[in-house]
Amino acid sequence: MTLVLVKDNKRSKAAFIHTGAWGDLYVSLAALQVTCQRHVTNGVVLVGSAKWKDIIKKTDWPAVEEIWECDNGRSANVYTWSAKQNDWQLSLEGVPLSVLFKKVIRSYNARTESLRYAFAPLIARVPERFGSAPWPLSKLFFTHPSKWLGKDPIIHERDRILQVVIPAQSETQVGLPPLRQTSHKTLRELFGDLKQPYILVNPTASRREKAWPSAKFRELVERISAEFAQRGQKIQVHLVGAQSETQWLEECLPKPQLPTSDSERDNSQTANPETPTLLLQPRRILDAVELIAGAELLVANTSSLQFLAAGVKTPVVTLMGRGTPEIWGPLGEEDIVIRGEVSADADNDIFKQERLAYESIPVERVFKVVMGFFDQQETSSTITQYAE
């Protein structure tokens, strides 16, 4: 590991701090957008998760100048944008955060449940430090402490982070900004065999207990496809998931299925000759953005894809177990939440509670909600039609 000290100590940058899984980062985009708008002249640095490099491109977020990749709250690898490579490139390794923060004039700590990343800005004496912590620690670590921790009152995760940046009335915000500008041309380049209109079904989650059973997803896909065929509507139903989720996705494909015809494709697709259902596995997060942007509807568990959908204004039907919709529900104006029943027999086992809650959601209920959505769209003639 090479230690390189930062020579430019002039304070001008704003730092936006956040870590976590994909969903944690996506839901913070509203706060990041406000930060970038506020500091468009002097620039913004992202601090925390390595995943920032996969979802933030300078071409779409021009105010973001650097990414400080850090998982311990103490030192970071610094990445700067390479126009030639069209990607983030490592420029410095192992730089103490307390040194890097000496060029920061204002820090926004979106880690409202942890103080791990609050020490470096304090040690570096960043003049203005925004964040959230239990009293009286908030006064010690932050010059502009936020009063909400996401528990009392109950507010959405997006707003809990957003109110760190703009404390007043942030709960009235709607939706999320897009990760990138999308286009049908890019969609065709990535998924050439994909015909529109289509809906997407994402049956996976971080754990099996946090997902609707695969058998129910398969039945749902079969029933929706059959209903569209009976109505004479050319709306296809496709499954979407990560490259690592092939087995899980295949469990949800209508039977029988054939193996992929071209395993070397950048975005693999498995087709069923008796149905139009495809198994779609984007290799990059930004490819998934294009795919979701082209969909009429997304049906998913309570996963990060619902927040990608909010950014591209694709309606969502979210299946939720024991979670609280007010905190982790979808964020679009047309989005619908179908929540399971929390069983009293699960004791204090949260994973058992989650599994039983998901299992309690009947296929018929989800089917009626999805078809009801398209009945409304058909009445208002807003289903997107594309040339063959």
Residue length, the chain?
388
Widest pairwise Cα distance in the chain: 68
Q: What is the CATH number of domain 184-380?
A: 3.40.50.2000
Average pLDDT per block of 10 residues along the chain, 388 residues long: 48 94 91 94 95 94 97 94 95 96 96 90 96 80 80 78 73 75 82 86 92 96 94 92 93 70 46 65 92 96 92 95 88 91 75 90 97 77 38
* DSSP-derived secondary structure letter, 152: S
pLDDT at residue 295, as a whole number = 95
The pLDDT assigned to 274 comes to 46
Which are the contacts of 175, defined by CB distance < 8 A and separation ≥ 6? 30, 310, 311, 313, 331, 332, 333
Q: Which residue has the tokens 């957008």?
A: 33
Which pair of tokens denotes residue 377? 């769209």
pLDDT at 34: 93
Q: Tell me the β-bridge partners of 264.
A: none
Dihedral over alpha carbons 99, 103, 107, 111 (to 10 degrees):
-30
Give yes or no for a contact between 24 and 52, defined as CB atoms under 8 angstroms apart. no
For position 2, what pLDDT does the model report? 44
Topology annotation, domain 13-172: Rossmann fold (3.40.50)
Domain with CATH 3.40.50.2000 in the chain: 13-172, 184-380
According to the model, what pLDDT value does residue 266 have?
A: 52
Give the per-residue pLDDT at 170: 46
Q: Given 3-state DSSP classes, what are the helix, strand and coil percentages for the chain, each rounded to the nearest 5?
A: 35, 20, 45
pLDDT at 78: 98
Q: Which two tokens stand for residue 366?
A: 């989800």
Q: What is the pLDDT of residue 183?
A: 81
The token duo for 41 is 């002249």
pLDDT value at residue 147: 73
What is the pLDDT, as a whole number, of residue 9?
A: 56
* Residue ranges of E strands in 32-71: 44-48, 64-69
pLDDT at residue 273, rounded to an integer? 44
Residue 261 DSSP label: S
Give the tokens for residue 368: 């009626």
Residue 181: predicted pLDDT? 82
